[in-house]
Chains A and B, each alone.
Chain A
């Protein structure tokens, strides 16, 4: 199965609606909670701490050394500086859920 043109996108607005409807937070609290959820994850990563959300996945930090790069337009060589990047590893549970709903039976 190929993700179809009917594919939807989940955003903060939908998550806030869900907290309003299902958790009973008021609209302001629901919006703030969603914002705070992602802000706390950003804060942890900014402190250099990985984030482990069991059943969903882990956000980890990787320090990448400087490497040679090139300006694709001019061909000029410019080094790509050393940097710290975030990587996400989906949990076995999430991978299994995705594989299950995308196996041959639903193609």
Chain B
């Protein structure tokens, strides 16, 4: 499912709203989530999961082409942990 498919599904759920509202709402939610992570905040959505930043310490890496050593600085990377309901619903599929 892509973002535009998600918008279509939401628009169909809210026939009283104009389609543009679903589009705007999805963009607003995603912007707020990105903004929270960029500010170093956590996101906690009960039944879905949580997003937080994980620390990556500085390390010595190698340029895979030249083999040259390069210092990779420390950084923070977004991490998602699925919540209980999502974990269970995803795993309960017949295969």
Which A residues contact B (CB, under 8 angstroms)? Answer: 1-4, 7-12, 14-15, 18-19, 22-25, 29, 32-34, 36-38, 40-42, 44-46, 48-57, 59, 61, 63, 83-88, 90, 93-95, 97-104
Instruction: List the B residue with the shortest CB-CB distance to A33.
Output: B25
Q: How large is the interface on B (under 10, 10 to 19, 20 to 34, 35 or more residues)?
A: 35 or more
Q: Do A1 and B40 touch (CB < 8 A)?
A: yes
Give complex CA distance A46, B93 in Å.
7
Given contacts A15-B29, A34-B29, A37-B10, contact A52 B45 (CB under 8 A): no
Instruction: List the B residue with the shortest CB-CB distance to A102.
Output: B76
Given contacts A49-B1, A87-B80, 12 further A-B contacts (CB under 8 A): A3-B40, A18-B29, A19-B29, A29-B17, A45-B89, A53-B2, A53-B30, A59-B80, A86-B90, A90-B77, A101-B38, A101-B40
Which B residues contact A (CB, under 8 angstroms)? Answer: 1-3, 6, 9-10, 13-14, 16-17, 21-22, 24-26, 28-30, 32-34, 36-49, 51, 53, 55, 73, 75-80, 82, 85-87, 89-93, 95
